[in-house]
Structure formats: structure tokens, C-alpha cells
A and B are shown apart, each in its own frame.
Chain A
Amino acid sequence: MKAEAEAMRGDTGAPQDTTTSVLEPLRSGPGAYLPGRRRAVVAVAVVALLAAAPLVLSPYPVSAMTRMLAFAVLVIGVDLLTGVTGLPSLGQAAYFGVGAYTAVLVGVHITPDAMVQALAGLVMGLVAAAVTGWVAVRARGIVFLMLTLAIGESVHQVADTWSAVGGSNGLAGMPPISLFGGPSLLAAGFVYWWVLAVAALVFAAVALVVSSPYGRTLRGIRDNEARMRALGYRPALARYGVFCLAGAVAGVGGALWAQQARFVSPGDMGFEVAALALLSVVIGGAGSLWGPCLGAALVLFVRDSLSASIGGHGPLVLGAVFIAVVFLMPRGLAGLTGTRARLRNLTSARRRKENAS
């Protein structure tokens, strides 16, 4: 049977292509997503719009948006775990922190090159997740949540007490980043563009994973793990893989976060960060990628910008938003766009049922 499968895989000639193209119109039927080309146009437009921000905004909001983008990268990783694979995690802030500390240490001791720092953050986030995740992925549901919480708290505790990384004072004195050996990027706008570029790249990469066969495997695990085993899958391996991937994404996010702040402290990787990341996913709509990014922006806006002007009651607002979303928009912000298509889907399904009976 192996040989058969092998032979069939090799045989991907023209006939298959025509089969698929003949069936192409099915995609635009009920329940279809945005067609590929339109989606690409929307993505380019959004990135272009975001890229224009430093041209019209003053430095303060630009650095606030930089932080939102870095945080959104963390949230994309959390969404990959929680929304796509069905593993709600409270430990991703640990890998975010590992990435941030790595970037600062590299910045202080080795090079101001932003690319090297981000890559180092990615690798260290991946390694940290690979080391700690092996235990976590054996559990599911609430036990998984508690294990990731324990991992997050432990790593936070290490950062808080270990003098080599500054203990509770954190690490300061990171020089401004540069790119391709050029001058230091001091202006908020330049840092913003760099962070935007990396965030867009991460978004695209994770979107590719979600649409790939592996993404399908992850959704299968989310929906029905027992059935996956009955189909011959070994889900533990796939879960471990996605945990490492999410750790790497969080590491990049942490590096970007540190590059903007040029400082890192244990507070950047605490429980609050992990909880806000999970909250962003819920508000944005678990499983969609752009929804949680919007959620990330909203959450950070309320915490950092709005909170000051309403007497520090930001958490209260976030709580209210959370409750409102859970009751009014169970699919989060992302659920708002699909509503019409879903309604159409529902009515057509009902009609079909009536016809059948």
C-alpha cells in the first residue's frame, strides 16, 4: 500500500489539474471564504494603510501601534494553538519573554542588527517551547491550560530572581536597532516599519500553515482527536509541532517588543500578558487570524492608552468588552464578516432539508 501511495503521489500530472479546475466553481458556493485574489488585495491594502501611519501620526501613537503589532505577533501564535488546534494556553508569555530577553542580550552584547535579534528571539522561543512543551502537549483541555500556566509562572519567576538577567529590575541599555549594517533606527517611524514588515511576514507564514495540510491536521485534532487516531494519525506529534511553532512565533513577537522598548523586565512576560493574549484571541474570534490581531490592538489600546484617561479603569473596560463579546458575538470580531454568508448557508441547508423530507 505504501508503494501504491508513493506511485500515486508521483503521478501529479495534468489530469488532476483539470479535475480541480472543473470543480473550481464549487468554491464560490455557500460557505466559501473570500476568494484568494480578493483576499490578497485586502491584505495588501491593509498593510499599505498601516505603513502610511507614521506619515500622518505623531511619534507617540506610532510607538503605541508598534507595540500593538509586536503584541499581535504573540497573539497570532496563541491563536494557532488555541483557535486552530484547540489548545488554550496561558504560557505563551513565557516564550514571548524569552524572545524579548534574547533580543536585548543580543543587542547589548553582540549586534544592533534587528534581523539577527529577531532570528535569535525566534530560535530561543522555539527551543524554550521545545524543552517545556513536551510535558504540556500530553495533556488536554483544562490540564493543558494549568500546565502552560505553571510553565509561564516558572519562567517568569526565573526572570524575576536571576541576577544575570537583571532580576526584577529587568535589562536596560539596549542600543537602537539597525538594519543591514546601516545607521541606527532612532525615529519611531522606522522601528514601526520594521516591526510591521516582520509582523506581516509572520502573519503570512502562519496563514500558510493554517491553509496547509498540516493546518488541516491541526483542525482535525481540535474537532475530534479520537477520530484522528482511528484514521491512523498520531496526534501527540502534531500537537508538539504546533506548540514549538507557536513558541517560535511568540519569540519573534517578544524580540519585536523589546526592540521597540529597548528594555525588558519580568513584567513583559507575566501572567497578565498571557491572559491578555488569550483575551485578544477570544475577542477577535478564535481560529481566524486577522480577528485576533484586531483583538490585540483593541486590548493594548484599552490597557495602555484609554486606561490613563479613565482613571486607570482599563481592566474594567476589558472585562466588560469580554462579557459583551461572549454574549453578543460568540465568533468574535471575525464572526461579524461571515454573518451574511452563514445566514445564506443556513437557509439553503434548511431548504435542502425541507426538500428531502
Chain B
Amino acid sequence: MTEPLVTPLLELRGLTRSYGSLTAVDDVDLAIARGERHALIGPNGAGKSTLFATVAGTLRASGGHVLLSGQDVTSLPEADRARRGMVRTYQHSSLFLDCSVLDNVALAVQRVHRVAHRFDRAARRFRHTEAEARRHLDSAGLSGRARDKVAALSHGERRQLEVAMVLATEPALVMFDEPTAGMSAAETERFVALMERLPEQLTVLIVEHDLDVVFRLADRVTVLHLGKVLASGPPEAIRADEAVQRAYLGSARAEDLFADSGGPR
């Protein structure tokens, strides 16, 4: 492996997070270049979600550092990290259920446009903000549902809305937490297509159980096991890695692990 010549967009140095005596994330080093599609996989209980939340700032790190474009953001709260361009989605859709679909995206846009605390005019009079929100709904394929309440959306549509919402924050790094969990095959297909259309300069960190999705989307894959990085590299190398196969199945049978009809759940 060669050292990156430019500063990675996201860098983790010895990142650790413990719950009492349990160390869920243990001394993780990771560097993700700008524009990279990086997948984080690992068996249940590997610490993926904890690592994810610690990077996003939802959880505080117990040790180590998180660097965004070379700047240490370890001590910043989640909101400040989001303002600097690192945003996350949630494993279970986390939306504003009693608000309209348009409102959900507009909430993201109006923060970026810095009009979120204006109360001198009706929101629809901030035409630029509204148009921008609608543009994001369009590209997520939800333009027909702008006025509906989120509560009326299907599971897959909510996932699409999540994507529209994080993109509306104009992020540098988007972190997806198991985005296709609970999706039907058709919904997953539509979601992967949406992910493939993401702007190229966008950096993506994705935690995903469905290995088909992982190997279709990712440039690089990191495998987490018992809180530690077990392997990290291009998808082909990970596929061939024996330690990874042992961690997943206890025995090395690649054809079981990477069968075409989805990975272990």
C-alpha cells in the first residue's frame, strides 16, 4: 500500500470508544481519500455502528482522533461537524414524520442558505431555498410527493428522502448507516442506482450488510472485527482475504460468503 500524497478527506487515528469495560471500537486507523466510496463491513457486533456514530459525533470518542481534511474535529459536537460537511444517515430512517416531504429537505437547505431563523416572510417566499429543495427531491425521484406527509411514505421512499436530505446539506462526506436494511430487492436496486448517480467529488462512507451492494459501490472496503480493523483494501483483495472469511463464517468457504443472492444478515 502506498501512502496517500494528498491529505485524506477523513482520517481516523487510533480511534477508540468503550462502554465501561467493553471496548466497542479499538484503536482504529483509517484514511479515506476525497471522492472515495468506502464501505465498512463486518459481522454483527463488530463495532460498525459505534465506529460510525463516533465518527459522526453522535458519540464521543474515548480516545484517538477524527480528522476532516486534516483538521481535528474530535472535540466538535455533531452539529458543528455537519456544518463542516460531514453528515450521516441513520440505520432506521430518522425523518420529520409530521412535516411534509418538501419541509424535510427544505430544513437541510435553509440551514445551508442560512435562513433557518428568519421569520419575517413565509417560507415559500424564500424562492431560492424552495427551488433548491425541489431540485433535490427531483433528483431523488420524489418530486411528486413534495406535499405529502413523510408518515405516508413507504420504507424505500423514506430512504430516498434521507439521501435527498443529506445531499441538500451540501456535504463533503456522507456516511450511510446500513441504507438498504429492510428494503425489498426492487427498492435496493433503485437505491443502488441512486447511489451510483451521486456526484463524483462526494466522499462516501457506507456501512452495509448486503455484500452485493458493497462490492457494486465500493472502491475500498474495510472489514471490522471485534472493534479492530481486520483488513482494508480494494474489494477484490477483501474477497480473497482468508482472515475476513474466517471472521464471517468461522471457516473459509468463499463461495458461501460471496454468493450472488446477498450476504449474511
Contact = CB atoms under 8 A, between A and B. Distances in A.
Contacts, number: 156
B82 A232 contact: yes
A167 B114 CA distance: 47
Contact of A8 (B120, B128, B130): B128
Q: Lowest 6 A-B CB distances belong to which pairs?
A: A232-B82, A223-B96, A214-B119, A212-B119, A211-B122, A232-B83
Contact of A212 (B82, B120, B149, B154): B120
Interface residues of A, number: 49
Interface of B: 56, 58, 77-80, 82-83, 85, 87-88, 90, 94-100, 103, 106-108, 110-124, 126-132, 134, 143-144, 146-149, 152, 154, 165, 169-170
A228 interface: yes
A230 B122 contact: no
Main secondary structure, interface of A, reads: helix
Interface in A9-43: 9, 11-12, 16-17, 19-20, 23, 26-27, 29-32
A215 B128 contact: no
Nearest to A4: B170
Contacts of A26: 144, 146-147
A175 interface: no
A228 B119 contact: no
A231 interface: yes
A31 B144 CA distance: 12
Contacts of A234: 79
A212 B121 contact: yes
12 contacts: A9-B114, A12-B127, A12-B128, A208-B121, A212-B122, A216-B103, A220-B96, A222-B98, A230-B88, A231-B108, A238-B117, A356-B154
Interface of A: 1, 4-5, 8-9, 11-12, 16-17, 19-20, 23, 26-27, 29-32, 208-209, 211-217, 219-220, 222-224, 226-234, 237-238, 241, 345-346, 349, 353, 356
Nearest to B186: A356
